[in-house]
Structure 1
Amino acid sequence: MFARPLPLFLSALLLAVAPPLAAGELRLQAPDDIDELLAPYLPEEAGNPLRLQATLSEILATEGYFSPNFEFKDSDNGLQLNLDPGPRTLIKNVALSLDGPLAASTREELQRDWRLPVGQPFRQEDWNEAKQQVLARLLAVEHADARLVDSEATIDVETHSARLSAHYDTGPRYRFGPLRVEGLQRHEPSLVDRYNRVVAVGQPYREESLNALRSTLQATPYFASVQTVLDREAAELNSDGTLTVPVVVRVRERAPHRVAFGAGASSNTGARVELNYHSSDLLGQAWELNSGLRLEQKKQTAYTDIFLPPDERFRRNSVGAMVETTDIAGLKTERYAFGAQTVQQRGSVEQRLSLNWQNELREPDGALPETSRALVPNAMWTWRRVDNLLDPRRGTVLQMQIGGGARAALSDKDFVRLHGRIQHYIPLGQHNTLTLRGEIGTTLADSRRHIPQDYLFRTGGASSVRGYAYQSLGVKEGAATVGGRYLGIASAEITHWLDEDWGIAAFIDAGDAFDSRQDVRLAVGYGLGARWRSPAGPIGVDLAYGERVRGFQLHFALAIPF
């Protein structure tokens, strides 16, 4: 009455007593779906037919075919197998038992969402996945000790039906207790509390909350490894029958000081070498110090930034200073800057509020030098709704910011700067992605004079208007290109992925920076590129033709949203 796969010893016995056929091609005659299923397991040449029958019977049984009919025909060209899989076994009955203090709504959801319902064909893989899905959902929410007690699939080969039963013990319902941090040597336990947004005392246990806390702590500069586990031995029984269990956070701290040296290249600013010093415990206060010297062909930068741990509102505050010189598109600049910033994540919106002061000396080729000073408060909001932050195929990233300076507050000029950009991803089938990008900006002032370049606009280069050199599009002043008061960019790109790692792209960009709305004349660039999915996100290499300059430019950069 019950069909089971032939045991291995029986297959071996058949192999021993059945004589092999003469060598030759093996051909299978079966329905298309069966042929596709068995093709990877068929030998190229005919051999022992009984051994082959035993092997194929086991494979067919995993797909719900328990009464196949095999007919072998020998010929001069080899062996032909005519295979009729027989009727497919269907699910006739499902008995799902859940013992333990399970919420009625959860019990109903698990019963309703069972992945192998009555009437569906029986498959061994589906049976295994259905059992695992129930267990995974129990373990993920409140029931950290849930287990599958037993399960059985009873197959009736005469009626081609299956009866399934699975029995679970949900275990107790857990609630989060206090955090207990182990492994700290330099830092205080309060440092972990400042990063904890998800594990709250008294809240129902959630596996994803423990995983989120671990990932958050692992991403900080303080810890080399993090584990989050429940201390079940210290659990306390509540009046409602739930258990409050402490959460143990085991950490291994990073070395407090780190020196790094790097080298690289950019199509925008040329070859680069960099020396960086990092400390995660400045003055013993868990302040993060990041300082370094970056030397590029077109830009040289010395910087120091100090980041504080999150405050009670999960804001990350920082201060920094920078000295920078550039020589780009005929414009030499030298600037000194320092400022303060606070960053806060609110759902899908990241907010950055900053106050920066800078002094800039600019020297355009063929024009008079000019000094500009500005104290600028600035607010920036970035909204992300994408399926993958590093390699999106669907969704939108939107960024808006506003800032400005005033003569009454340490600036040489009254101005207000507005800037916005958007990147939208549309999947086209399984292997293609359309990316639409737009950017617009304006600096409200009576002229561009005595406004630092950071608060004006230039464009051109990778991730901008391809086909033109980096920041070569803007306002002409002497032989140099300087920033203008207006910016407009539009771009469309389609990427076709050849496999999991490599893709090709075609794109068209249009944009310019200008000083008067009457001077709008967009520069157009278009071309082809290659994409490689690196661990840090897709790396793009593009060859673009710029219509205005009638020449080609090679660009390469990380092809990720801002």
Structure 2
Amino acid sequence: MRFFSHLGLLLATVLLAGCGLLTKPTATATGQPNFELQIHARPKEAQDLLAAHLELNRYRELEGLRRQELTRLISVADTDIRKLLATLGYFAPTVELELHNPPRDSSDLPVVRIEVDAGEQATVTAVDVQVTSPQDGEKAGSWQRQAVQRNWPLEVGQPFSQDAWAGAKAEGLRSLQAQRYPTAQLLTSRADIDADTQQAALQAHYATGPLVRFGPLEIEGGQRYDAAGVTRAARLPVGQEYRQSTLLDVQQRMAATGLYDSVFLTLQTEQMPEGQAEVQVPVLAQVREAPLQKWVYGVGLSTDTGPRLSIDHTHNRVPGLGWQAQSKLQLNRKNPLLSTRLYSLPDDSGWNWFTSAELERAELADYQANSIALSAGRGKNEDKIDRQYFLRYDLANPQGDDAPPKSSAISANYSWTGRYFNNPTNPTRGYGLAFELGVGTTLTPQRTPFTRALGRWQYFQPMGERDAATKRRSRLALRAQAGAVTARKGADIPLTLLFLSGGDTTVRGYSYQSIGARTDNAQRIGGRYMLAGSVEWQRPIVLAGNRNDWEHTVFMDAGSVSDEPAQGMQVFVGAGSGIRWNSPVGPLQADLAYGFKTQKIRLHLRLGFTF
């Protein structure tokens, strides 16, 4: 038994030793360099490339690296250097590699010295770009195919590099696939380099494939909501030539309905028939539906209205009607309100029906007013322009001593808003323009015809050179607003249709809606005529090392409200300075403004940009 025990122990020892022989030792990084690497290359782009990507760098901290292995690595480094430089267009560099080994008993590290003169960069001397299509000879798309050849990015006389070559090929393909030819391909490409003369001759051959037109929209993943209604709202131009931008617009319109949490559109090119010069291809919309109902709770703070609590409710399919509904309860110190808005999906023309109701208790200058506003009409929201025409009923019941009488009115209205900013949430250039026009009559306490007009304008103009520290430009922000209600003198217009000014978005330096007209007993009240304007200079600054998100502003605002178009219009002026922070949800504004009429300084806080 003892023999077998010893034999088993011997076999186990042999097997363990064999396993050790079968396992290849792996070198691991020690964190300590094995050799010193010195790279001196001209020009600077060659130096940066070799320092970042030279294969030899990977072995500097490799555990157990022997001198003979280092010698072998140096022998293949020449090839690696030449391959890297070729990507920049240097095909005949001069490369010198030296290894300096210290004495074996020295603690000094071996030194690998690399001297590189990249030489002359190759230049493009010939470009041959061909675009073939089943529609050759046809006018449709011929200019686009010619534009690929005419606008080829890598022109004769330009330096050659792999990045520029790959970018030019990709740009040519993108220009074809963006319109008419989504299945275009790069068939062949070739770059012939003469290393002796540093010349590059380029060839690229594209095939457009068939001209594609939009087919019908197919919705996948939708069960709860009206697919036919969404299709109308999407307004896919069936039969028109394919454009990538059109597909993105359709996707945006579907997402804007609020019925989906996600929308992804693809052209069903795998269903295309073969051998045709022109085809119509269906579009597949893969959607994930939003919940039938959604509640959103919010808190906020404004120097105009104080702390705010809001509850928003969305119902995406009102029972019995099929419309969507958005309701809101807002609680704050100055204007608590309850509102609801019902609206249909847009039709084929993009217009939809809507109706709304709003109950509000508002602080209007020296009076409190309970008000009701009801409206119904049609609207159209496009990428940059919103339009509405509607009937509106207003009822205002002022509260307080010597308050005006309770009054009501009905009016027909049209509104138009155009937004042409470079960024909808934090613009730095562009403009916005809006106007509203209403014609109606008061109903109580007596009937009197009236008109109401309101216009708004905002403009951002970049100025000067880019700042040396932030690499951003300053800008001038201009804002103007004007409104007028015309009716016979003494007519009781509902207070909610009159104008007030002052506050964060009108005339800073004055409290919210503190600029108004005066009654016979010197009470402040909304006026029939209003003017307001602002000039603001915004410049980038560096704050706490952040170069991208902070700005400093100086501004001057002015405004006036009166019951007479020219007489008795007092101009209220405010001026000050502030800070802007580009937060993830829009600009956060903090301004200190001095009101010249009140001779007081006020703090104004505001989050987000709206027009």
Asked whether the two chains share a fold, i.e. TM above 0.5, the reply is yes
Which bracket does the TM-score occupy, shorter chain normalised?
0.7 to 0.9
In terms of mean alpha carbon deviation, does 366-375 or 431-440 score higher?
366-375
Deviation at 1:22, TM superposition (A): 6.3
The equivalent of 1:441 in structure 2 is: 483
Quote the residue 2:197 is aligned against. 159
Alignment of 1:480-559 (within 5 A): 480-498=523-541, 499-516=547-564, 517-558=566-607
User: For 1:61 and 1:444, how far apart are their aligned partners in 2?
Assistant: 76
In 1: Cα distance, 2:232 partner to 2:421 partner: 27
Distance 1:455 1:473 in 2: 15
Given that 2:295 and 2:313 are in contact with CA atoms closer than 8 Å, whether structure 1 keeps it comes out as yes
Matched, 1:180 2:218: yes
Alignment partner, residue 207 of structure 1: 244
The equivalent of 1:14 in structure 2 is none
Identify the residue that residue 425 of structure 1 maps to in structure 2. Answer: 460
- Inter-partner Cα distance in structure 1 for 2:226 and 2:403: 56
Contact 1:176 1:245 in 2 (8 A): yes
Aligned counterparts of 1:544 and 1:468: Cα–Cα separation in 2: 8
Choose the corresponding residue for 2:338, options 299, 302, 322. 302
Distance in 1, Cα, partners of 2:345 & 2:300: 31
1:96 is aligned to 2:129 = yes
**Partner amino acid, structure 2, of 1:417:** R
User: 350, 362, 371: which one pairs with 1:314?
Assistant: 350
Tell me, yes or no, if the aligned pair for 1:308 and 1:317 is still in contact at 8 Å: yes
How far is the alpha carbon of 1:111 from its aligned partner?
0.3
Question: Aligned AA for 2:130?
Answer: S
**Distance apart, 1:291 and its partner CA:** 1.4
How far apart, CA to CA, are the structure 2 residues paired with 1:543 and 1:35? 51
Cα separation, partners in 2 of 1:329 and 1:188, compared to 1, 3 Å: closer
1:66 to 2:91 alignment: yes
Listed as ranges, the matches of 1:131-170 within 5 Å are 131-170=169-208
Q: Does 1:390 align with 2:439?
A: no
Q: Which moved more, 1:186-195 or 1:52-61?
A: 52-61
CA distance in 2, matches of 1:296, 1:408: 31
Q: 1:27 to 1:105 in 2, by over 3 A?
A: closer
Which sits farther off after the overlay, 170-179 or 370-379? Answer: 170-179
Aligned pair partner of 1:254 in 290, 296, 309: 290
Take 1:39 and 1:550, find their aligned partners in 2: how far apart are those partners?
63
CA contact (8 A) 1:330 1:479 kept: no
Q: 1:344 to 1:411 in 2, by over 3 A?
A: farther
CA distance in 1 between counterparts of 2:358 and 2:39 reads 74
Alignment partner, residue 514 of structure 2: 472
Secondary structure at the residue paired with 1:454?
helix
Kindly provide the amino acid, as one letter, of the partner of residue 227 in structure 2.
Answer: P
The gaps in structure 2 that reach 5 residues or longer are: 1-32, 61-69, 101-110, 136-140, 466-471, 542-546
TM-fit CA distance, 1:306: 0.6
SS of aligned partner of 1:86: coil
Q: Residue 410 of structure 2 contacts residue 443 of structure 2 at CA under 8 Å; is this kept in 1?
A: no
Identify which of 145, 149, 154 aligns with 1:116. Answer: 154
Q: 1:177 is matched by which residue type in structure 2?
A: G
- What are the within-5 Å matches in structure 2 for residues 262-273 of structure 1? 262-273=298-309
* Shift in CA distance, 347/232, structure 1 to aligned 2, threshold 3 Å: closer
Alignment of 1:359-374 (within 5 A): 359-363=395-399, 367-374=402-409
For residues 333 and 35 of structure 2, the distance between their equivalents in structure 1, rounded to whole angstroms, comes to 74
TM-score if structure 2 supplies the norm length? 0.79
1:274 aligns with 2:274: no
One-letter identity of the residue aligned with 1:174: V
CA-CA distance at 1:345 after TM superposition: 4.5
* Counterparts of 1:406 and 1:370, CA distance in 2: 16
Tell me the secondary structure at the aligned position of residue 136 of structure 1.
helix
Q: Deviations over 1:235-289 (max 9, x none)?
A: 4579x73122222222222111122222111221111112222110002543111
Structure 2 counterpart of 1:86, one-letter code: G
d(CA) in 2 for partners of 1:378 and 1:361?
A: 22
Deviations 1:89-136 (A, max 9, x none): 100122323343254322211100100011111122221211111111
Distance, in Å, in 2 between the alignment partners of 1:210 and 1:30 is 48
Confirm or deny that 1:220 pairs with 2:257.
yes
Partners of 1:540 and 1:557 within 8 A in 2: yes
| Alpha-carbon offset, residue 412 of structure 1 | 4.6
| 1:326-378 deviation per Cα after TM superposition (whole angstroms, max 9, x unaligned) | 235432111122111321247854322121112111135x5335312111222
CA shift digits 1:484-512 (9 cap, x unpaired): 11111121112223433332222111112
Q: Deviations over 1:19-46 (max 9, x none)?
A: 98769xx6968567777888878999xx
Residues 181-207 of structure 1: per-residue CA shift (max 9 Å, x gap) = 22221223211222122x222222222
* Native 8 Å contact 2:298 2:310 kept in 1: yes
Q: Does the C-alpha gap of structure 1 residues 529 and 93 become closer, same or farther in structure 2, counting only changes over 3 Å?
A: same
- Residues 440 and 488, structure 1, Cα contact 8 Å, conserved in 2: yes
State the Cα deviation string for residues 470-489 of structure 1 (Å, max 9, x = none). Answer: 11111244575321111111
Matches within 5 A, 1:227-238: 227-235=264-272
For residues 52 and 328 of structure 1, the distance between their equivalents in structure 2, rounded to whole angstroms, comes to 80
User: Gapped runs of 5+ residues in structure 1?
Assistant: 1-18
**Counterpart of 1:332?**
368
Aligned residue in 1 for 2:66: none
What is the alpha-carbon distance in structure 2 between the residues aligned to residue 427 and residue 161 of structure 1?
43
Match of 1:342 in 2: 378
- 1:195 and 1:310 in contact (8 A); partners too: yes
Partner of 1:12: none
DSSP-derived class of the 1:500 partner: strand
Pick closer, same or farther for the CA change 1:160–1:36 going to 2, 3 Å: same
Q: Does 1:86 align with 2:129?
A: no
Task: Give 1:436 deviation, angstroms.
Answer: 1.0
Q: Is the 8 A contact 2:408 2:444 kept in 1?
A: no
Q: Distance in 2 between matches of 1:86 and 1:237?
A: 50
Question: Which digits, 9 at most, give the CA deviation of each residue in 1:515-538, with x for residues without a partner?
Answer: 222222321112222223344432
**Structure 1 counterpart of 2:166:** 128
| Number of aligned residue pairs | 536
Give the distance between the partners of 2:351 and 2:223, measured in 1 at CA: 25
TM-score normalised over the length of structure 1: 0.85
For residues 122 and 252 of structure 2, what CA distance do their matches in structure 1 show?
Answer: 44
In structure 1, what is the Cα distance between the partners aligned to 2:353 and 2:451? 24
- Rounded to whole Å, the distance in 2 between the matches of 1:105 and 1:22 is 58
Q: Distance in 1 between matches of 2:123 and 2:514?
A: 68
The 1:41/1:470 distance shift into structure 2, 3 A limit, reads: farther
Aligned to 2:3: none
Question: 1:505, 1:261 → 2: CA distance?
Answer: 33
